[in-house]
Amino acid sequence: MTNSQQAKATVLRELHQDGILLLPNAWDAGSAVLTVQGGAKAVATTSGGVAWSAGRPDQQALTRDEMVALVGRIAQSVDVPVTADIEGGYGPAPEDVAATVTAVIGAGAVGVNLEDSKPTGELFTAEEQADRIRAARRAAEEAGLPELVVNLRTDVFLFQIGAPEGRKDEVLARAAVYAEAGADSLFVPGLLDLDTIAELVKGQSLPVNVMAGPGAPAVAEFEAAGVRRVSLGTAVAQAAFTVARRAAAELVEKGTYEELAGALDFGAVNGSFSR
C-alpha cells in the first residue's frame, strides 16, 4: 500500500464531509481522463459501462479478475481517487466480498460501491449484508487501507421492494444496521422524491448518495435536501454507446454524419492523453 493511495482514500472521505460530491461515472481509462478534465474531483466506475466496454452485459457478467483489470487501468490513468463499483461483491458470501475488496485495492481503488441485492433481484437480509460489510472492512484493514470508503447501495427503491409506503422505513432500518457494520455512506438509487430523500438524510447517520439523470432534480435541489453525493450511474456510458449506434445507423441508412456533430475535435481528444 502506497502513501499516495492512502492519501487518495483520505481525500475521498473528506469529499463526503462538506458540500456535495459529483460523480459522472466512467467505464474505461479514456472516459476517466475526460471525466477529470471535466472537473470531477473523483472517479466512480459504473459496473454497466465497464461490462459494456468488454462486450458483456451488466450484473456480474465479467469475472472478478476481468473487472479488477479494468478498474486498475482506470486508477492508473488519473491522479484523483477512484471508487470501484463491485456490484454484489462477486459472490454472496462475506469471503467473496473480502476477496473482491482486496483485489480492487490492489488495483488502486480507494472506495467501493457494494449492493445489498442478489442477481435474482432479492435483497440480502440486513444482517447478512452487515456480515458482508464487516468482511469488506476487515479486508481493507488487512490490505493496509482502513480508510477505504464503503458506499453501501440499498436497492429497496430501485427494485421496488415491498409496499411503497414501507420503503422509507425499510431503508432507515437497514441504514442503521449498515452503519453499525462499518458502511461509510448510503446509496439509494431509484429514489428522486426530494421530501423522502430529506427524511432519509435526517433519519439516519450516513451521508446519502443518489443516482441522477435526465428528468431528475437539479444538483442544487439535492444539496438542499441534504444529499452529499450525486452519481450518474450508467447514464454517461449509455449516451456514448447511443451515439455509436446512431452514427452507424445514420451512415448505413442515410449516408450522412449529423449524429457526430458537436464532438470534440481530434486534437482535443488526442491531446487529453499524455500517459
The grid cell for 38 is 471535466
**Per residue in 183-230, pLDDT tens?**
999 999 999 999 999 999 999 999 999 999 999 999 999 999 999 999
Burial label for 87, CB within 10 Å (0-12, 13-18, 19+), is buried
**36 grid coordinates:** 477529470
What is the rounded radius of gyration, in angstroms, for the C-alpha atoms of the chain? 19
The predicted model scores a pTM of: 0.94
Domains and CATH numbers, the chain: 3-234 (3.20.20.60)
φ, ψ of residue 6 to 5 degrees: the values are -65, -40
Strand partners, 112: 84, 150
72-103 pLDDT per residue, tens: 999 999 999 999 999 999 999 999 999 999 99
